[in-house]
A and B are shown apart, each in its own frame.
Chain A
Amino acid sequence: MSGRFFGAAVTRLEDARLLAGKGRYVDDIELPGMLHAAFVRASVAHGMIRNIDTHDALGMPGVVAIYTMADFADIAQGPMPPMAPHPLLKTPITYHPLVDAEIRHVGEAIAIVLADTRAEAEDAAAAVVLDIEFLPTVSDAGLACEAGSPKTHTHLASNIAATMKAGFGNCAAVFAKADHVLTERFDIHRGGCHSMECRGVVASIELQTDSLTISTSSQSPYMVRRHLAVYLKCDENDIRVMTPDVGGGFGPKANVYPEEFAVALAVIKSRRPVKWIEDRQEHFVATTQQRGQIWTLDVAFTNEGRLQAIRGHCIHDNGAYAPYGLILPATALGSFPGPYALEALDLSIDVVLTNLVPTSPVRGACRPNVAFLLERLADRVARHLGIDRQEVRRRSFIRADQMPYTTGMKARDGSPISYDSGDYGGALDLVLDKIDAANFEKRRNDAKQRGKLRGLGIASCVEDTGLGPFEGASVRVTPAGKVFVATGASGQGQGHCTAFAQIAADMLGVELADVTVESGDTAKFPLGISTIASRIAVTAGSSVQLAAQKVRSKVMAFASHQFEVGEHDLELERGSVGVKGIPGMSIRLSEIARTLAGNAGVAMPGGIEPDLAATAYFNSNALTFAYGANACEVEVDPETGDVSVLRYVVVHDCGRMINPLIVDGQIRGGVVHGIGNALFERMIYDEEGQPLTTTYGDYLLPMASEMPRIEIHHIETPSPLNPLGVKGAGEGGTIPAAACVISAVENALGPEGPFIGLHPISPQHIVTWLDRARSDNGLAI
């Protein structure tokens, strides 16, 4: 489609309010009589609670109540329902809202304290006395797989929660005949999402009906409602969940959390409104994390550098619970074979329980991990054969003329996965051209004169977007002529309101300012899935288009009846529908809306259904695949090990862009997240499962002073799979970025340097590698 607004880089409708300090985040909500909650959290990674003594704490100023899991027994019991049951997970491994007996990671919530102020609640939480029997702890996923390892859950037979497998072709046969086989080990470290707003919940109960109203900083308001209703054995209609402005999500806020349940239970118990705002230290110990995996992979390839087959195994650090089932490791398997036309693939993943914070998708889920594996292997093969890295890719990529390409992998429903469109070679050529790879050696030599090691990195990726099953929207024109769009797809800063308004405004011939988008309120739209997996432009965007189209049809039918002309003689623009070429023969949308809103005793004109409104769902039955190629240049200081990312160029194809300003913003933020994964972000635990990096002084995030400008070039190949021709863009920046930066660092360290199969890398790594290279090879730097 096209129009005045679709495809235009219009500034966001959200911005004026947010810039003026008039955003409304969950901590900005105040309710009369509201209590403040603080959690008593576990300070050991594994233990059995023998006693919780709240006596002294209850006597402290301002304290109203302290609840443990046992106190909720008359309302609800047992573990939380699993969000995504999986046949391989024989037992659901979910949290209780508060620990029932066995503590399984530092930070688990044990009791909830309600007080008049947050400070008083925190004071009392510190005064609750816990008697805990310590249990042996396992904080390393590799060790957790070994026989005799301490068990994360004492009642489970093993720390291996599930073993997942995927593949295609005859791997053994391809490996047996391959010209070359290499084996590499990869260690990808844990990090967090670190949305700038921590999590938070404000909940209240209507005293006459017992219905609950919950505002939560979540990506999944409908999942919170659904699972809480199951847990409380009530109807979904008894719970209203809203997401006000949410200060970033990046994946972890898609989970349904024990604190959301515990606050709701505390509200039911106390019959008072309760607010809980996660502090940053809690965020480090209680919000899910990601990316911890150890892979061992064999790659088979030809003398020319064509990748033929990959086989191997992964130890996936799941942490202590699997609130999101096996979604995260499933995205690792689902990201193969990336852009490569492999003949065979044979993979297995052990999903391993550890006494650490659970892992769940963070921006890209395991797609960045797999891009790292595949791109590092491509570089490794090039290095082994002594040919250009881009040649390995060109010879191994799925070609544009092979699209649609059936990869050999299966989707979650068992159907074959097919890439709908893409030109991976073209994207790589373009990015190499834009970064001026042809003259790179000159820049490398110039850097050498300055005592710096300059490297060029490249990385490509394919991203499945538009995950099903659906999102929906309703579009309504009010008697004032304003357009209201309601959708289940809540936002966390992606600019949904602007993008959806662009779609609706074009379809209904109104101004952007006439459109208001409301999302993330279960009372305003009946169903929603989650804002995850780069799926909202495809699913919710298309549903807005379909709903607005239905409203437009109604407008046309009304005007056709009114003016007694065929619909093809009508035009809809600037808030009016009229007969083409006949000035004055027109009617405003507001008037139609007023008529269709009904008057007592007056029949609907032309038998048209009441209300100038419509609802539509878009079923996303097949994934649509975005892709990209990145290139960057870094300089390494051989004395300090410091890495400077000097240039970063992205070529990206997410189909038709609704708003290029927003797409570019998604890509830039995503790339910087990936640079953080490559160089900075390291969540460290000791052997006892104690987190050692729980402040921003210890856990480093990418800052403006270290980040380059991100240069972006778009290819727009419309998706054939949805009415807008769009593909997702929320994660495509992150997916190849760590691989690209590490590729550049390895390239900077030169042929004497190591193969780098881990991230994040630190200055210490680099200095150690250079020292080793100097002593092993007499490297002259």
Chain B
Amino acid sequence: MTEHFVTFTLNSERREATVDSRMHLGDFLRHSLGLTGTHLGCEHGVCGACTIIVNGAPIRSCLMLAVQVDGAVVETVESLSKAGALSPLQQAFATNHGLQCGFCTSGMLMTLEAYLRTTPAPTERDVRIAISGNICRCTGYEGIVQAALDTASAKGSPT
């Protein structure tokens, strides 16, 4: 087994680690670093549950190897709440019943977090396409879509 030394930024903290060459990023985050908020739903890159943000873009942590994070900036669901308070997007998920079992939720949140940074005023159709790579079996998606729209419109409106 070949091991590699990696240095990266994880949820605003600088981290160093030694990883097996074949370990994927999802397993590394969950089982080596204890960040179990990222969930593995299919491990073949389709369901989107394991989505995290790497260098600003949403990626599937089951399709990226841990060695590839060397030098990268990684954000996981654990970074969204600040000082124990839910982020506006997380709060909107609760308000709109955008989660039931919670298993796809982290991937949905991270996909939308990355999306809303670059698309501040999406239409409903835009949001549906943005999460068209994330499967949710519980909600029928409507609460998730509404949560994203509410978050965007709250950000866009003057406070």
Bound together: yes
A interface vs B, CB < 8 Å? 11-12, 14-16, 18-25, 27-28, 30, 61, 119, 193-198, 245-248, 250, 279-281, 492-495, 661-662, 664-665, 668-673, 695-697, 701, 703-705, 707, 709-710, 733
Stretch at the interface among B2-10, B63-71, B93-101: B93-101
Q: Which of B89-135 contact A (CB under 8 A)?
A: 90, 93-95, 97, 99-106, 109, 127-129, 131-135
- Please, which residues of chain A bring their CB within 8 A of the CB of B77? 20-21
Which of the residues B23, B41, B102 comes within 8 Å of A493, measured between beta carbons?
Answer: B102
Minimum CB–CB distance for B26 against chain A, Å:
11
With a 10 A CB-CB cut-off, give which of A119, A662, A697, A703 has the most chain B CB atoms. Answer: A703
- Are A665's CB and B76's CB within 8 A? no
Knowing A12-B97, A669-B137 touch, does A21 contact B129 (C-beta < 8 A)?
no
B136 within 8 A of A: yes
- Please, which residues of chain A bring their CB within 8 A of the CB of B140? 665, 668-672, 707, 710, 733
- Are A668's CB and B43's CB within 8 A? no
Q: Interface majority SS on A: helix, strand, loop or mixed?
A: loop
28 A-B pairs (CB sep. < 8 Å):
A19-B81, A20-B81, A20-B86, A21-B77, A23-B103, A27-B36, A30-B31, A119-B22, A194-B137, A196-B49, A196-B135, A196-B136, A247-B39, A248-B100, A248-B101, A279-B43, A280-B41, A281-B44, A493-B101, A664-B97, A665-B139, A669-B137, A669-B138, A701-B135, A703-B132, A704-B129, A704-B144, A707-B128
- Are A673's CB and B128's CB within 8 A? no
Which of the residues A119, A197, A494, A733 comes within 8 Å of B41, measured between beta carbons?
Answer: A197
- Please, which residues of chain A bring their CB within 8 A of the CB of B1? 61
A357 to B66, CA, bound (A): 35
Minimum CB–CB distance for B80 against chain A, Å:
7
- Please, which residues of chain A bring their CB within 8 A of the CB of B57? none
Minimum CB–CB distance for B19 against chain A, Å:
12
Q: Which residue of A lies closest to B144 (CB)?
A: A704
Can you add 4 more A-B contacts, CB < 8 Å, to A23-B102, A671-B140, A703-B133? A15-B94, A18-B99, A20-B80, A665-B143
Knowing A27-B30, A668-B140 touch, does A196 contact B104 (C-beta < 8 A)?
yes
A658 to B147, CA, bound (A): 23
- Please, which residues of chain B bring their CB within 8 A of the CB of A22? 37
Q: Which residue of B lies closest to A20 (CB)?
A: B81
- Please, which residues of chain A bring their CB within 8 A of the CB of B135? 194, 196, 696, 701, 703
A119 to B143, CA, bound (A): 37
- Are B103's CB and A197's CB within 8 A? yes
Minimum CB–CB distance for B150 against chain A, Å:
13
Minimum CB–CB distance for B54 against chain A, Å:
17
- Please, which residues of chain A bring their CB within 8 A of the CB of B152? none
Minimum CB–CB distance for B25 against chain A, Å:
14
With a 10 A CB-CB cut-off, give which of B80, B97, B99, B128 has the most chain A CB atoms. Answer: B97
A27 to B101, CA, bound (A): 15
A279 to B133, CA, bound (A): 19
A709 to B128, CA, bound (A): 11
Which of the residues B46, B81, B101 comes within 8 Å of A195, measured between beta carbons?
Answer: B101
Q: How many B residues face the partner with a CB closer than 8 A? A: 56
- Are B100's CB and A495's CB within 8 A? yes
- Are A280's CB and B42's CB within 8 A? yes
- Please, which residues of chain B bring their CB within 8 A of the CB of A733? 140
B35 within 8 A of A: yes
Q: Which residue of B lies closest to A666 (CB)?
A: B100
B47 within 8 A of A: yes
- Please, which residues of chain A bring their CB within 8 A of the CB of B102? 14-15, 18-19, 23, 245, 247, 493
A24 to B30, CA, bound (A): 12
Knowing A18-B102, A18-B105, A196-B49 touch, does A696 contact B39 (C-beta < 8 A)?
no
B74 within 8 A of A: no
- Are A25's CB and B128's CB within 8 A? no
- Are A697's CB and B137's CB within 8 A? no
Minimum CB–CB distance for B111 against chain A, Å:
10
Q: Which residue of B lies closest to A24 (CB)?
A: B36
Q: Which residue of B lies closest to A198 (CB)?
A: B41
Lowest 9 A-B CB distances belong to which pairs? Answer: A21-B37, A493-B101, A247-B103, A18-B102, A668-B140, A696-B46, A493-B100, A705-B132, A21-B77
A443 to B131, CA, bound (A): 29
Which of the residues A25, A669, A696 comes within 8 Å of B100, measured between beta carbons?
Answer: A669
- Are A19's CB and B90's CB within 8 A? yes
Q: Which residue of A lies closest to B24 (CB)?
A: A119
A194 to B23, CA, bound (A): 25
B61 within 8 A of A: no
- Please, which residues of chain B bring their CB within 8 A of the CB of A30? 31
- Are B94's CB and A492's CB within 8 A? no
- Please, which residues of chain A bring their CB within 8 A of the CB of B103? 23, 25, 195-197, 247-248, 493
Q: Which residue of A lies closest to B93 (CB)?
A: A19
B40 within 8 A of A: yes
A495 to B99, CA, bound (A): 10
Knowing A245-B102, A696-B42, A710-B140 touch, does A704 contact B90 (C-beta < 8 A)?
no
- Please, which residues of chain B bring their CB within 8 A of the CB of A12? 94, 97
- Please, which residues of chain A bring their CB within 8 A of the CB of B31? 30
Minimum CB–CB distance for A128 against chain B, Å:
20
A649 to B5, CA, bound (A): 56
- Are B132's CB and A11's CB within 8 A? no
A669 to B139, CA, bound (A): 4
- Please, which residues of chain B bring their CB within 8 A of the CB of A697? 44, 46
B78 within 8 A of A: yes
- Please, which residues of chain B bring their CB within 8 A of the CB of A196? 39, 41, 47, 49, 101, 103-104, 135-138
Minimum CB–CB distance for A407 against chain B, Å:
31
Minimum CB–CB distance for A251 against chain B, Å:
12
Q: Which residue of B lies closest to A196 (CB)?
A: B103
B142 within 8 A of A: yes
- Please, which residues of chain A bring their CB within 8 A of the CB of B51? none
Q: Which residue of B lies closest to A194 (CB)?
A: B137
- Are B137's CB and A248's CB within 8 A? yes
- Are A197's CB and B100's CB within 8 A? no
Which of the residues B38, B47, B101, B104 comes within 8 Å of A246, measured between beta carbons?
Answer: B101
A664 to B142, CA, bound (A): 10
- Are A492's CB and B44's CB within 8 A? no
Q: Which residue of A lies closest to B139 (CB)?
A: A669
Minimum CB–CB distance for B145 against chain A, Å:
6
- Please, which residues of chain B bring their CB within 8 A of the CB of A696? 42, 44, 46-47, 135
A704 to B98, CA, bound (A): 12
Which of the residues A11, A24, A250, A493 comes within 8 Å of B94, measured between beta carbons?
Answer: A11
- Please, which residues of chain B bring their CB within 8 A of the CB of A248? 100-101, 103, 137-138
- Please, which residues of chain A bring their CB within 8 A of the CB of B22? 119
- Please, which residues of chain B bring their CB within 8 A of the CB of A61? 1
With a 10 A CB-CB cut-off, give which of B47, B77, B140 has the most chain A CB atoms. Answer: B140
- Are B99's CB and A15's CB within 8 A? yes
- Are A695's CB and B44's CB within 8 A? yes
- Are A250's CB and B137's CB within 8 A? yes
A616 to B57, CA, bound (A): 52
Q: Which residue of B lies closest to A9 (CB)?
A: B97
Q: Which residue of A lies closest to B129 (CB)?
A: A705
